[in-house]
Amino acid sequence: MHSSTAFPHDLLRGKVAVVAGASSGINLAIARRLASVGAHLAILSRSEERIAAAAGLEADGYMVLARAADVRDYDAVEGVFRAAKERFGPVDIVVSGAAGNFHAPAAGLSANGFKTVIDIDLIGNFNVLRASFDHLRKPGASLLSITAPGGAAPGLFQVHANSAKAGINMTVQCLAMEWGPAGVRVNALSPGPIAGTPGMAKLAAAPERERMLKARLPLRDYGSLNDITGAALFLASDLSRYVTGTILDCDGGMRLGDASADALSPLPRP
């Protein structure tokens, strides 16, 4: 089911992209995809050790500025945007993807645990978007937040993460309205189950669990990093120049509900 998505190799030539949370997983893959079609990169993560590993993108010949910064620290985040602008010029693309999550029933979740996820996901997302504004190329900039299906639907053991993602969705839509007149587009990308990511390794380590999850998806398969980075590239580039305030679901239909054979079977007649 997975296939390659081709874009012009110079689609983002001359563009400057800042990716937050780009030390691993989906965000690092997005950063690599943006660089592969010509973008200069600034990447940030709160871990000095992990950001050093992500800076290995330079070994592939990409122009990369790597900085350790915690998205909960507004001044540190703003400093990364300032450094990116000084090195490469005005920022064209921002990807805000830093996140923290774990499974916890609400009755067993501490107030501090709830606050930690809100601080990283929701407040961190606002910090990244807000800190970017004075350093953007206006008009023409594209801002992209990484959200999740739980931002639009309730779920078990995820009150902290789903609350944060719902806040991200509303932040994106509010900023799209406010910053649209300046020529700045603001969208969100909502990945479903993506193979080869740390999240899926935790959620579905057992083969039986993987089969069960795939059986519930309308497309009956996980997405690939290529799928999600292709969607990100579309939103980041001028291919979507008339798209703003959108939450783009890249989830194999997960948001639609359970599409397993049992769920699709007609109810027996009384």
Token digits for 83?
Answer: 């450094």
**Residue bearing tokens 């309205």:** 177
Confidence class for position 3, pLDDT limits 50, 70, 90: very low
Q: Where are the alpha helices (DSSP H) in the chain?
A: 25-36, 48-54, 74-88, 111-117, 124-132, 159-179, 198-203, 207-216, 225-236, 261-264
Instruction: Give the domain extent around 167.
Output: 16-248
* Domain assignment of residue 121, yes or no: yes
For strand 142-146 and strand 40-45, is the pairing parallel, antiparallel, or unpaired?
Answer: unpaired
Does 120 reside within a domain? Answer: yes
pLDDT tens digits for range 130-170: 999 999 999 999 999 999 999 999 989 999 999 999 999 99
Q: How many domains does the chain contain in total?
A: 1
Q: Is residue 41 part of a domain?
A: yes
| Helix or strand run (H / E) with residue 96 | strand 93-96
pLDDT of res. 54: 73
In a domain, 64, yes or no: yes
pTM given for the model: 0.93
Identity of the residue numbered 90:
P
* Position 122 pLDDT exceeds 90: yes
Residue 158, in any domain of the structure? yes
Stretch 170-190: mean pLDDT, rounded?
98
Q: Is residue 111 part of a domain?
A: yes
The per-residue pLDDT for range 63-120, each reduced to its tens digit, is: 899 999 999 999 999 999 999 999 999 999 999 999 988 889 999 999 999 999 999 9
Span 16-44, average pLDDT: 95
Task: Report whether 94 contacts 31 (CB < 8 A).
Answer: no
215-269 pLDDT per residue, tens: 999 999 999 999 999 999 999 999 999 999 999 999 999 989 899 988 877 766 6
What digits encode the pLDDT tens for the residues 49-67?
878 777 778 878 898 999 9
Write down the pLDDT at residue 268. 66
When pLDDT is cut at 50, 70 and 90, the band that residue 270 belongs to is low
Q: Could you give the C-alpha distances from 255 to 15, 91, 113, 241, 266, in angstroms and in order?
A: 33, 33, 26, 26, 21
Q: Does residue 14 have a pLDDT over 70?
A: yes
- Rounded Cα distance between 132 and 124, Å, is 12
Evaluate whether residue 93 is within a structural domain. yes
Cis peptide before 8 (omega within 30 of 0): no
Look up the CATH number of the domain holding residue 138.
3.40.50.720
Please check the confidence at residue 2 and state whether its pLDDT lies above 60. Answer: no
Identify the pLDDT of residue 262: 82
- pLDDT confidence of residue 1: 44
Structural domain contains residue 119:
yes
Q: Which residues pair with 190 in a beta bridge?
A: 249
Strand pairing category for 142-146 and 93-96: parallel
